[in-house]
A and B are shown apart, each in its own frame.
Chain A
Amino acid sequence: DSGVTQTPKHLITATGQRVTLRCSPRSGDLSVYWYQQSLDQGLQFLIQYYNGEERAKGNILERFSAQQFPDLHSELNLSSLELGDSALYFCASSAEETQYFGPGTRLLVL
């Protein structure tokens, strides 16, 4: 158990819909990262927040957005969903360099 929690565990939705994925970092960790992992693929870095501010941006689509709240939990919003957005979405948190990954949210877009 990494100490990072993600909800929901699984999500099934339809194309065109919007979903919100939630992440609670390890206690005391200020940084939160979001990653997308498609079937049998590597980890695609989406975005990083540090203490509420956006720190780094990866290959995040314009249809996707994220934020980190004052209590340090983070949400990843995915809108106008397409079939290709089906993937495992991981959140990770860190205090320094080491990233601790949550169990992921498996999104299926039908």
Chain B
Amino acid sequence: ILNVEQSPQSLHVQEGDSTNFTCSFPSSNFYALHWYRWETAKSPEALFVMTLNGDEKKKGRISATLNTKEGYSYLYIKGSQPEDSATYLCALLYNFNKFYFGSGTKLNVKP
């Protein structure tokens, strides 16, 4: 069993604050890291798929970086909005088919 850790477990910020959270994983060969956003009463939605050391992805106010050598990925949200409130999941693909998910970071953005 692979241990994918996400921190913090939960986060409360004010609208307009910028925030970031971490996904940590064993620093060994893997194929890809996925970030998903899971809003209450909805299905998880893909944010980013990252594959290379030093990979950086950006979508609007959300961006992510990947450091495979040190075994972590950061997700950043600039100027948080209430609609960003969700649980953010990271998932590692270590063999061709099997994904290992972290427990997620639950973000609450207060207006």
Tell me, yes or no, whether A binds B: no
Binding site for B on A (CB under 8 A): none
